[in-house]
């Protein structure tokens, strides 16, 4: 039984330093780079690359990845060993008793314990739910019109009646939502969409118009007028980190839970989306814009009034975000690193 799948993408990614030196001299190794690293459960491609690179998101550049043809890296697994050859220097991947010094592709089913690009547990809820809706996106969605026993509020185990899904099959799964806070562009002041507030899950117990549903996994009170969206499968993509090809600059407009401040391993909403050229896998830099300060100058003995000089302090780059889901006008990004708290209205831009 083979221990691992190694592709040209991954073997180069982790990491071919001679290629780095020849092709991208601005990519730097860590100061205390290890001689070897054993992959463990919970690692990600980003975190493993961070053992060796100061800019771990840039590992695909070292193999001149053709992003039009290769979208996803293949996998490595816990127990694999990354070796640093200081005479080269270079890195190799050891699988069992075999050391592979060059890229090689093999065909094999992907095991369930493969190493993902970024932490899946953090972003899974943002992949299975349509957490952003267009201005009228839920207007025509199926809706709850009544509750069994004429109850006002519903929770797990309760039964309700829904209009608009007469062709739904018994036991089909539906998620329940209501429109939430408007997502406002801080620059144009236009409404980009609305947060979709997830209320719970349900399954159809009897088809018809109205159809009968049973609610389970309720997270908030559910009531008449709340909307249903068909539940889709969970799809965990193999994200390939890369910078946008064109210059992009946007703002953070929301964070999970509505907090004004957040940090690494949390999800933020950006005011840029597919229409602005963003795609899953894009890495953006976090910027805190320098504030403007005023200072009085001059000698009051010689001037009737002090002169006021205005100075803009420099913008400060302090972290990175990783875009993992895009909509037309907004996107979700995971904060990968930040040397200070991440705040609403902070800038994201091409790194």
- Whichever domain contains 315, its CATH number is 2.40.10
Q: Is the CB of residue 49 less than 8 Å from the CB of residue 59?
A: yes
pLDDT over threshold 70, residue 3 = no
Parent domain of 257: 249-349
Beta-bridge partners for 262: 342
Percentage of the chain lying above the pLDDT 70 cut = 69
Q: Does 97 lie in the same domain as 141?
A: no
Q: Does 166 lie in the same domain as 140?
A: yes
Average pLDDT of span 280-292: 90
Name the range with the highest mean pLDDT among 51-55, 98-102, 209-213, 289-293. Answer: 209-213
Look at residue 337 and tell me if it is in a domain: yes
* 20 exposure class (CB count in 10 Å sphere: 0-12, 13-18, 19+): buried
* Residue 233, pLDDT score: 65
Q: Does 165 lie in the same domain as 88?
A: no
The pairing of beta strand 159-163 with beta strand 90-95: unpaired
Q: Is the CB of residue 321 less than 8 Å from the CB of residue 284?
A: yes
Q: Could you give the count of Cα atoms lying within 13 Å of 58 in the half-sphere of its Cβ?
A: 18
Q: Does 156 lie in the same domain as 60?
A: no
d(CA 255, CA 266): 8
Name the range with the highest mean pLDDT among 6-15, 45-54, 279-288. Answer: 279-288
Q: Does 145 lie in the same domain as 184?
A: yes
Look at residue 237 and tell me if it is in a domain: no
Q: Is the CB of residue 320 less than 8 Å from the CB of residue 351?
A: yes
Of 60, 86, 117, the residue that ends a domain is 117
Look at residue 192 and tell me if it is in a domain: yes
d(CA 50, CA 33): 10
Q: Does 318 lie in the same domain as 268?
A: yes
* Residue 237, pLDDT score: 61
Q: Give the chain's domain count.
A: 3
Name the range with the highest mean pLDDT among 40-44, 235-239, 268-272. Answer: 268-272
Look at residue 270 and tell me if it is in a domain: yes
Distances (CA, A) of 266 to 179, 259, 270, 336, 344: 22, 11, 13, 8, 13
pTM here? 0.68
Q: Does 272 lie in the same domain as 303?
A: yes
Look at residue 307 and tell me if it is in a domain: yes
**Exposure class string for 43-64: b at 16+ Cβ within 10 A, else e:** bbbbbbbbbbbebbbbbbbbbe
Q: Does 333 lie in the same domain as 300?
A: yes
Look at residue 167 and tell me if it is in a domain: yes
Q: Is the CB of residue 84 less than 8 Å from the CB of residue 7?
A: no
Mean pLDDT across the chain: 76
Q: Does 279 lie in the same domain as 214?
A: no
Q: Does 106 lie in the same domain as 136?
A: no
Of 60, 91, 117, the residue that ends a domain is 117
Average pLDDT of span 316-326: 92
Look at residue 2 and tell me if it is in a domain: no
* Residue 162, pLDDT score: 95
Look at residue 122 and tell me if it is in a domain: no
d(CA 38, CA 82): 6
Average pLDDT of span 53-78: 57
Phi-psi region of 153 (alpha: psi -120 to 50; beta: other; left: phi over 0): beta
Of 90, 117, 144, the residue that ends a domain is 117
Average pLDDT of span 194-206: 91
Q: Does 145 lie in the same domain as 111?
A: no
Q: Does 137 lie in the same domain as 105?
A: no
């Amino acid at each position: 039984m083979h221990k691992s799948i190694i592709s040209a993408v991954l073997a180069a990614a982790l990491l071919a330093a001679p290629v780095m030196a020849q092709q991208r001299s601005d990519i730097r190794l860590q100061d205390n780079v290890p001689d070897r690293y054993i992959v463990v459960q919970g690692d990600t491609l980003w975190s493993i690359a961070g053992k060796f690179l100061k800019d771990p998101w840039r590992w695909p550049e070292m193999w001149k990845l053709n992003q039009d043809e290769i979208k996803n890296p293949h996998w490595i697994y816990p127990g694999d060993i990354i070796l640093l050859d200081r005479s080269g220097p270079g890195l190799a991947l050891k699988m069992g008793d075999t050391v592979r010094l060059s890229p090689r592709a093999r065909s094999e089913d992907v095991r369930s314990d493969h190493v993902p690009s970024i932490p899946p547990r953090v972003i899974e809820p943002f992949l299975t739910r349509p957490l952003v809706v267009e201005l009228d996106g839920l207007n025509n969605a199926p809706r709850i019109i009544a509750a069994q026993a004429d109850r006002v509020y519903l929770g797990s185990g309760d039964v309700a009646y829904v209009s608009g899904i007469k062709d739904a099959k018994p036991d089909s799964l539906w998620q329940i939502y209501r429109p939430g806070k408007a997502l406002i562009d801080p620059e144009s002041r236009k409404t980009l969409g609305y947060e979709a507030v997830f209320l719970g899950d349900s399954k159809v117990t009897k088809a018809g118009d109205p159809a009968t549903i049973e609610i389970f996994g309720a997270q908030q009170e559910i009531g008449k007028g709340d909307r249903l969206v068909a539940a889709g499968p969970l799809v965990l993509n193999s994200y390939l980190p890369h910078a946008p090809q064109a210059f992009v600059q946007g703002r953070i407009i929301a964070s999970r839970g509505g907090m004004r401040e957040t940090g690494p391993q949390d999800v933020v909403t950006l005011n840029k989306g597919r229409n602005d050229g963003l795609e899953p896998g894009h890495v953006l830099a976090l910027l805190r814009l320098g504030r403007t300060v005023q200072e009085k100058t001059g000698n009051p003995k010689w001037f009737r009034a002090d002169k006021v000089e205005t100075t803009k302090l420099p913008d400060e780059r302090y972290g990175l975000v990783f875009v993992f889901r895009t909509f037309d006008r907004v996107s979700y990004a995971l904060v990968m690193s930040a040397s200070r708290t991440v705040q609403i209205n902070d800038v994201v831009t091409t790194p």
